[in-house]
Structure 1
Amino acid sequence: MYSVLLPVDRNTDRAFHQATYVTRLADSGAAVEATVLYVVPPNTFDRPEDVEFSTLKSTVTAADHLEEAGVSVERVVDNGGIPQKIIHTANDIDADEIVMGGRKRTGVTQVLLGSTVQDVVLSADRPVTVTGGTVTLGTGRREVLVPVDRDVDRALAQARYVANLPNAAEHVDATVCYVFPHQDYAGAPPHEFAEVDAAVEAAAYLDGEGVTIDRLVIGGEVVSKLLDTAEELDVDCIVMGGRKRSGVQKVLLGSTSQDTMLSATRPVTITG
């Protein structure tokens, strides 16, 4: 079974869209088990241990939506440090994926990543998908866009995530994409997929796992090209390999991954 952790807050719309994303996984009714988790924030209830799952509209909405789609659901309430409890639960159930609902808008419609989402994305040792308050999904077969950079290890981590999706060989179409930065001007050199080792390795891995793939190279401003391509292909998810380590082993989120997460109308998965 493919195990998914859905940590929800009190926002019912975000919780619903997190659940919708999970129901769109291939064969979700038979192949997916979901744990809906609510972590009681510190200092919000006199007795956090008495908070019940059934009294929280967001958790019930997510769980009911999943069960209506045939997904097996475990309901969990915990309390303490929210990112830490999410990571602990993901490790405890050995989740294949954590699905967060983290995009928020300020009063001037600026999109922000919640601090909890940032902490989980940077701390988790497994894929984290961010859906947001709204989510646009494709139709039919599951379409994923896999934008790679020049790092072979990150590209292979992205490919492994896609190949591990439920019944990927039968139900997933993947487009492995490399954007040559700013090379969309007149007279720019031709773009060749074979020039990018990371793209070649990711495509070969997916091909070997039986996943249907397309190979795409384009030139231009990276984030805008990725977003345009995601819309053109009507993808269900953009699979990024965004975690990097600095010289002191601090985990960082690459600017391309962060900008894509903030700007995309579609779910974005960070694999590492």
Structure 2
Amino acid sequence: MSRVIDSMLLPTDGSEDALTGAKHGIALASLTGADVHVLSVEEGAAATNAVETDADLPALEAHAEAAVETVAEMAREFDETIEVTTAVRSGTPFQTIREYAHRRGVDAIAMGTKGRRGLEEVLLGSVTENVLRTARTPVLAVPPEADAAIGDVTFERFLLPTDGSEGAAIAIEWGIALAARLEASVHALYSVDTVPFLGEQAPGELPDVLEERGQAAIEGVRERAGDAGIDSSGSTAAGSPVEVIPDAASDRDVDLIVMGTHGRTGVGQWFLGSVTENVVRQTDVPVLCVPVSAAPP
């Protein structure tokens, strides 16, 4: 397969967060030869329970049109070969974004996340959070710390976390196919929170059974990477994946984390995206979040 992503959806409300996501989406579209869809969703008074009246709708629509055209022009100016489609819709933003992506057969959605409020609380933004939780297509979540000029955005070093689950396997297939298309290197990472396991081991070490499982998972990723002609490395780590993954991304100076939104925690217990969601909150690196519903490309 020549590419993973043939079309990108860039939702925008005209905010700086949306523009940060759009810049990364445009850069990735340019590198993969993908078409770009730019969408703005206008909620209006009915959806927001706000005090706006019908008289306000033209101004709201004009704002949405301007937001769309700003991103569309960014894409055209950066790469004139990108085919751009624009749309303004009314409705609940996350539902409309999800449905547009599904009906248009979009391969990935690129969205910005929000920053920190106060000292501890990290905000994803309700729209991005709900898209991440419900979309049936991969979502590239871009934190504000990753903001850069489009020409400075790179996708050269990928981090592929794995827990050996089906969800991780699907994400790894996406990560490897995209890395092959972009000639990027990959690092496979296996981490498990050892708190649920009894027994004695040195801090930071995995129990033997988990070390063996982790090495097997990493070797599986590296074998698939080798088959695709990709440079790869791998490591295991003890500790909460929510902490280990962002630390590894920072230490290895990766450009992109690719991970599934469903996996395992503890022994046999499924989580519904909690690790991925919290990694997105913690890291300053873009995360391509791949749902189980996204079949391997």
Q: TM-score with structure 1 length normalisation?
A: 0.81
- C-alpha spacing 1:244/1:40, structure 2 compared with 1 (3 Å): farther
Partner of 1:5: 9
- When residues 141 and 7 of structure 1 are mapped into structure 2, their CA distance, relative to the original with a 3 A threshold, is closer
Q: In the TM superposition, what are the counterparts of 1:1-272 in structure 2 within 5 Å?
A: 2-11=6-15, 13-25=16-28, 28=30, 31-43=33-45, 46=54, 47=57, 51-52=61-62, 55-56=65-66, 58-70=67-79, 71-107=82-118, 110-135=121-146, 142-151=156-165, 153-165=166-178, 168-169=180-181, 171-182=183-194, 185=203, 192=211, 195-243=214-262, 253-272=272-291
Instruction: Give 1:109 deviation, angstroms.
Output: 6.1
> What is the distance in 2 between the residues matched to 1:172 and 1:133?
23
Separation in 2 of the partners of 1:23 and 1:193?
A: 40
Q: CA deviation at 1:171?
A: 1.7
Aligned residue for 1:226, secondary structure, equals helix
Deviation of 1:64 (Å): 2.5
**For the residues of structure 1 that align with 2:191 and 2:272, how far apart are their CA atoms?**
19
Tell me, in whole angstroms, the C-alpha distance in 2 between the residues paired with 1:15 and 1:99. 9
Report % sequence identity: 26
Paired AA for residue 280 in structure 2: M
Which consecutive residues of structure 2, in runs of 5 or more, have no partner in the other structure?
Answer: 46-51, 195-200, 265-269, 292-297
Displacement after TM superposition at 1:169 (Å): 4.4
| 1:134 to 1:41, Cα distance in 2 relative to 1, 3 A | farther
Q: Answer with 168-177 or 224-233: which moved more.
A: 168-177
Q: What CA deviation, in whole Å up to 9, does each residue of 1:223-269 have, x standing for no partner? A: 22211211122211111212369xxxxx9633321221111111112
Tell me, in whole angstroms, the C-alpha distance in 2 between the residues paired with 1:254 and 1:196. Answer: 23
**1:73 and 1:186 mapped to 2: Cα distance?**
48
**2: distance between equivalents of 1:15 and 1:186?**
38
Cα shift at 1:110: 2.1
Q: Is the 8 A contact 1:3 1:96 kept in 2?
A: yes
Shift of 1:2: 1.9
4+ residue segments displaced more than 6 Å: none
Q: How far does the alpha carbon of each residue in 1:95-119 deviate from its partner, in whole angstroms, 9 at most, with x for none? A: 1111111324335562122222222
Q: Tell me which protein shows more helix as a share of its residues.
A: 2
For 1:264 and 1:50, locate their aligned partners in 2 and report how far apart those are by CA, in whole Å: 33
**In structure 1, what is the Cα distance between the partners aligned to 2:142 and 2:285?**
7
Across the aligned residues of Structure 1 and Structure 2, the Cα RMSD in angstroms comes to 3.2
Residue type of the alignment partner of 1:118 = E
Letter in 2 for 1:135: A
Larger Rg: 2
How many pairs does the alignment contain? 262
Which consecutive residues of structure 1, in runs of 5 or more, have no partner in the other structure?
246-250
